[in-house]
Structure 1
Amino acid sequence: PPECLNLLRRARLAFRAGRTLKESFRQFQLDAVVRMLEEHECDFVDALGRDLHKPRFETVVAELTLVKNEAFHAINNLKRWMQPQPAERNLSTTLDECLVISEPLGVVFIRGTWCSPVQMCLVPLVGAIAAGNCAIISPSDCTTHTAELLHRLVPFYLDNECFHVILAGLSDLPEILDLKFDHIFFTGSREDGSKVALAAARTFTPVTLILGGKNPCYVDQHCDIATTVQRIAWARFHNAGQSLVAPGYILCHVDVKARLVQALKCCLMQFYGPDPRESRSFGRMVNMEIFNRMRDVLWRSGKVAVGGQVIEAEKYIAPTILTEVTESDPIMQQEVFGPVLPVLTVDGVDEAITFINKQEKPLCVYAYSTNSKVDGNTKLMSETSSGSFCSNDCALQSLMVALPFGGVGASGMGSFHGRYSFDTFSHRKSCLLRGTRFECVTFLRYPPYEDRNLSLMTWASTLSQRSQGWCQIL
């Protein structure tokens, strides 16, 4: 916290000096983010490999390329985003200007999560830079090598007064957040998110929370099983299951369960071979705390249909499919950050909807169906509430720069990606630029209040459109 206070003071001075306001400055910083990732790709691959045993393919595609896509999108659209947006005028403001201006908030705090330590630090940072803010970034202390790499590289690429990286644990956050930032962007668990929200409330600081949870995945009896299992397995076992957007459990139609489980078993063999421990495409748990929690939940839930092997010395848990899981099992009562996929059965999409709506609102809902007569995908999308929805695939909706991504209810608040990141880190200020004409009419609003003036204003309002109302005469 003392170090953070010093960095916060420096960032505030830089912001008040107007250092971040020019488009050219923002463009240069966004270019620098891209250069940092390109020139140190091998360093990021090595750091994530040491922290999560993360394959190079996953690091490049899901971490580095995703951030670069966001940066390029912001660079290409920044000029348009920064322009004042005209607002609708009425008769009384015909000769005036009505504008909405996006102005930066100030100094923002970004806390990334350990399961996507580069993506969830730098994608929000791109939005903060584009919107003209200074930022203090706090990578997760669970992924120490990645955090230290960001701490070392950022000062060489980004402005040393406006952007800083601090190495802090979760226990430090309440004291750090008491320093008063202009916005807090937090990614992590619901438990930690609630603590951040409480700390932010003490200083009236707005927050964006991207929180974990259990993402349901409905599989209809009418679906392409081969494609379905590949897409589900990829999303669930990517990064050894340590993902906020992975399907948390399957609700499959009872008629398709046997085929689905068998297909998942074959798919895991195809992805990771007969012994996933030897596969270069499969990761490990980030630390012993996560490993022990996942192992205990695994052993106390359902029946292992595939996988189930654990090796404590390597923090290894095999890709696992659980069947005969009940709603009361431990794995259905908490967030799952590991390579375990429970399979439950339902009699159809209506029962799946009922099941999902009994739980807290999830970050993502997934649905697989090719039935054109009864569109279960559309029904599930419209009759459940979640941060995002995706049919016949998983996770992709959380990676697209054109779509907002965020939670609702217990899965968080606020959103980011592309223009939505820019808006998250901006204050949309309404501006009315008026002249002094028409005072011969507007004088009716001034005291002393006369019944005659009120009658005239009431009559004038009845002549105007309903959407304009009293502003017609005011």
Structure 2
Amino acid sequence: MDCPENLESELKELRDTFNSGITKQESWRRSQLKALLSLLEEKEDDIAKALEQDLGKHPVESFRDEVGPLIKSVNYALKGLKRWMSSKKVDLPIAAFPSRSELVPEPLGVILVISCWNFPFGISLEPLIGAIAAGNTVVLKPSEIAPASSSVLAKTIHSYLDNKAIKVIQGGPSICEKLLQKKWDKIFFTGSAKVARIVMTAAAINLTPVAVELGGKCPAIVDSLSSSWDKEIAMKRILAAKFGTCAGQACIAIDYILVERKFSATLVNLLKGSILRMFGENPKELKSVGRIINKNHCSRLRKLLDETGVKASIVHGGSYDEDSLFMEPTLLVDPPLNAGIMTEEIFGPLLPIITVEKIEDSIEFIKSRPKSLAIYAFTNNETLKKKLVSETSSGSVTFNDAIIQYVADTIPFGGVGESGFGRYHGKFSFDAFTHEKPVVLRSFLTDFWFRYPPWNGTKLQIFKSAYRFNYFEIILILLGLKRS
């Protein structure tokens, strides 16, 4: 729906539904997850058409990156739901004897999910899966920049899921502003750092917890791989992760490459050959490279290329057609480090290659810049791998591939520092929308007299021994065999 005039009553319905307790029931959660699974399977064609209309994505890319991972995520949640919902027993100190304790997962309440346009279904529904599994009610605000996808989300969710618990509200920045003025139990935002600051400022008024999934300039270190097989596979994976995934319009896309200067010419030739084999002599006609989302973003990318000193660094590609929103896969070698292409997140099919004297220098280069959502390294050098893990900070590190970490259910996805905070996917999505409540149950059968005033030296000695776990000493004090 568009943002309704009766927004307050819509939100009240969500709050009333949550307070009724229905969403806490396992049967409700399962029914909604199964309905979401039916939506994905039955509306696959509609989703593919919307993604082609908004982003020029090929149906294979749409299924690989959005529909397929979502089907997998729903099935993973259905399989683990009973275990995730169960309380966990935890130990208490001996001073609390006899007692027991458990951690009880409870839903947070009414959730606002603000999604992004580059993966409009995946980024919308992945957090929704976790919010439903955790037993919350949800408002989903899809991006207006991908209007066809936003419309499909609104229509299909309304048709498949419980409308009293899950609502889609469409609209632009003014609608988002109205939503942010309301009280939520958590806000989950995916987008730019600029908008994230607006979201967090609004959330602070009500002390609303926020998870923000951002991006940053994700580097890829390319070592001088030894075998021709390793080189061939590495080139395929690099190009697929950059040009073959939403035309580089992805927060975890490779933003730039770091390589030793003596290997850079070889790398450029390898990449050129792989681009030809993967995307053809005319990538625009092959339709394996998606389109730029709109003319504003196309113009932004063009300005990055037109900046002083950047155009001279282009070694492959560089053409664009703003009317058809197409930009050719482009390679650049050593553009100015102070240019926009090296200071801003590119979010497009432009791939700078930065040369260093020795590959270890790439670690210092990465450390000198804001923390990224991901770091990639194509290398067989075990020492370099260990140094990269121990000496850098990022949302994740992946060796000899890229982007595959996004589709894993068993590891969390999220950033650190300026690349965001909060994490989700798999059980971590459930945790993102859950409060793990400690519950302590104590018996009246025994009590320890030294817990209470009036204080004396004996009681102090008992406490000191207790906090050092020296229970034998406590026994001696109690028996009068050791003085305080």
Report the TM-score, using the length of structure 1 for normalisation: 0.94
- CA offset at residue 106 of structure 1? 0.2
Report whether the alignment pairs 1:340 with 2:350: yes
Partners of 2:12 and 2:405 in 1: CA distance: 38
Residues 368 and 377, structure 1, Cα contact 8 Å, conserved in 2: no
Report whether the alignment pairs 1:158 with 2:161: yes
- CA offset at residue 191 of structure 1? 1.0
Residues 141 and 176, structure 2, Cα contact 8 Å, conserved in 1: no
Q: Which residue of 2 aligns with 1:254?
A: 261
- CA offset at residue 371 of structure 1? 2.9
Report whether the alignment pairs 1:393 with 2:393: no
Residues 313-462 of structure 1 aligned to structure 2 (within 5 Å): 313-372=323-382, 375-439=383-447, 441=448, 443-462=449-468
Amino acid at match of 1:308: G
- Secondary structure of the residue that 1:314 maps to in structure 2? coil
Residues 214 and 249, structure 1, Cα contact 8 Å, conserved in 2: yes
Amino acid at match of 2:438: S
- CA offset at residue 304 of structure 1? 1.5
Report whether the alignment pairs 1:290 with 2:290: no
- CA offset at residue 339 of structure 1? 0.7
2:81 to 68, 78, 83: 78
Q: Which residue of 2 aligns with 1:47?
A: 50
Residues 222 and 371, structure 1, Cα contact 8 Å, conserved in 2: no
Task: Give the length in aligned residue pairs.
Answer: 462
In structure 2, runs of 5+ residues without a counterpart are 473-484
Partners of 2:263 and 2:174 in 1: CA distance: 46
Partners of 1:387 and 1:249 in 2: CA distance: 17
CA spacing shift, 1:37–1:463, aligned 2, 3 Å: closer
Report whether the alignment pairs 1:271 with 2:274: no
1:352-391 deviation per Cα after TM superposition (whole angstroms, max 9, x unaligned): 111111111000000011235xx31221122110001100
CA spacing shift, 1:270–1:96, aligned 2, 3 Å: same
2:470 to 456, 464, 472: 464
Partners of 1:173 and 1:429 in 2: CA distance: 31
Q: Which residue of 2 aligns with 1:168?
A: 171
CA spacing shift, 1:8–1:449, aligned 2, 3 Å: same
2:223 to 188, 211, 220: 220
Amino acid at match of 2:459: N
Partners of 1:56 and 1:465 in 2: CA distance: 67
CA spacing shift, 1:382–1:460, aligned 2, 3 Å: closer
Amino acid at match of 2:184: F
Q: Which residue of 2 aligns with 1:234?
A: 240
CA spacing shift, 1:124–1:3, aligned 2, 3 Å: farther
- CA offset at residue 98 of structure 1? 1.1
- CA offset at residue 212 of structure 1? 1.7
Residues 51 and 146, structure 1, Cα contact 8 Å, conserved in 2: yes
Partners of 2:189 and 2:272 in 1: CA distance: 36
Q: Which residue of 1 aligns with 2:11?
A: 8
Partners of 2:263 and 2:207 in 1: CA distance: 50
- CA offset at residue 461 of structure 1? 4.3
Residues 174 and 195, structure 1, Cα contact 8 Å, conserved in 2: no
- CA offset at residue 289 of structure 1? 1.0
Report the TM-score, using the length of structure 2 for normalisation: 0.92
Partners of 2:64 and 2:344 in 1: CA distance: 29
Partners of 1:161 and 1:118 in 2: CA distance: 21
- CA offset at residue 165 of structure 1? 0.3
Partners of 1:390 and 1:455 in 2: CA distance: 52
Residues 349 and 380, structure 1, Cα contact 8 Å, conserved in 2: no
- CA offset at residue 326 of structure 1? 2.5
Greater shift in the superposed pair: 293-302 or 85-94: 85-94
Partners of 1:308 and 1:465 in 2: CA distance: 74
Partners of 1:465 and 1:45 in 2: CA distance: 66
1:147-184 deviation per Cα after TM superposition (whole angstroms, max 9, x unaligned): 01111110111111000000022343233112011011
- CA offset at residue 459 of structure 1? 4.5
Q: Which residue of 2 aligns with 1:304?
A: 314
Greater shift in the superposed pair: 220-229 or 345-354: 220-229
CA spacing shift, 1:465–1:400, aligned 2, 3 Å: farther
Amino acid at match of 2:278: F
Q: Which residue of 1 aligns with 2:128?
A: 125
1:138 to 141, 145, 163: 141
Q: Which residue of 2 aligns with 1:208?
A: 211
CA spacing shift, 1:465–1:88, aligned 2, 3 Å: farther
- CA offset at residue 94 of structure 1? 4.4
- CA offset at residue 52 of structure 1? 0.4
1:5-46 deviation per Cα after TM superposition (whole angstroms, max 9, x unaligned): 332211100000001011111011111111001001000000
- Secondary structure of the residue that 2:438 maps to in structure 1? strand
Partners of 2:177 and 2:445 in 1: CA distance: 53
CA spacing shift, 1:457–1:382, aligned 2, 3 Å: closer
Amino acid at match of 2:240: W
2:150 to 142, 147, 150: 147
Query: What RMSD over aligned residues (CA atoms) do the two structures have, in Å?
Result: 1.6
- CA offset at residue 121 of structure 1? 0.4
CA spacing shift, 1:293–1:465, aligned 2, 3 Å: farther
Residues 74 and 418, structure 1, Cα contact 8 Å, conserved in 2: yes
